[in-house]
Amino acid sequence: MQMRILGRSGLEVSALGLGCMRMSFGDTPTDKQEMIAFLHAAVERGITFFDTAEVYGPFTNEELVGEALEPFRGKVVIATKFGFKHDGERGPYPGVGLDSRPEQIKRVAEASLKRLRVEAIDLFYQHRPDPNVPIEDVAGAVKDLIQAGKVKHFGLSEADADTIRRAHAVQPVTALQSEYSIWWRVIEEAILPTCEELGIGLVPYSPLGRGYLTGKVDETTTFASSDIRSRNPRFTAEAMRANRVVIDLLERIAAQKGATPAQIALAWLLAQKPWIVPIPGSRKLARLEENMAAVEVEMTSGDLSEIDTAMSKITVVGDRY
């Protein structure tokens, strides 16, 4: 597995990370021992970058990742997140509201350290901006944790360019996690240039469009009520039918490369910048291996230009949330 460094931070990780959320959160129950074995298999194949969060479960995903990766302590990088509370207020997750007060951040860090079975959190993201807490206070709290040896690197998620700059002035930001893919490119206008200027790595989540860009999901697919896609405007039958043109494009490029649509979608991301590290989620070994092979797919400037030209003529149907 090729390695990449997130921005100018010196934090080296596998060129492809692994999003762990759905191993214990969301639509389909999983067997804990199966997921532990799967995480071990990922490490054995060269994945060194794993993504979790306090709110996944909540708590159970960190516990799973911590138990599974304990034998590899010091050899892998685990990212987790703070920024939510669990008192029934509304937020992006059912029953969860925002809370990035400094005292809450430090409480979450202590709890996450225990669940992850580590002495320091490798990468600690603010999960979502909190309009009630100045980002300077958030960055200052994480700076305190870094100085105390409890956190190694500070990250933001879904932050805008101004927020990134303000945070970075207090405590250098190692990585920004944001949705980014061949069909969701809003961050290219202001956020990506800001990351490049400040030396911040980008960690795209949903790089495969929540599964749609694999080409294995279409208008006949049904989703359980607990699956976020069942409420997602981009996953109505009408939207999936209309967006089929994106899959047609990926399949055309994939046929030229002897690859799959998923591999082209990931290879396209990897080709954008050398400091971009996508974190596709997976729970099956075959899918993990397919994704990992994307690192070996060479995208020429001609390929990238062809994709850009084609996508400029496509209007993707449906909001992302």
Q: Which helix (H) or strand (E) holds 138?
A: helix 135-147
Strand partners, 97: 85
CB proximity list for 81: less than 8 A, separation 6 or greater: 52, 53, 54, 55, 124, 125, 126, 127, 155, 157
Q: Which of 56, 125, 180, 212 is catalytic?
A: 56
Note if 56 is an active site residue: yes
Q: Which residues form the catalytic set?
A: 56
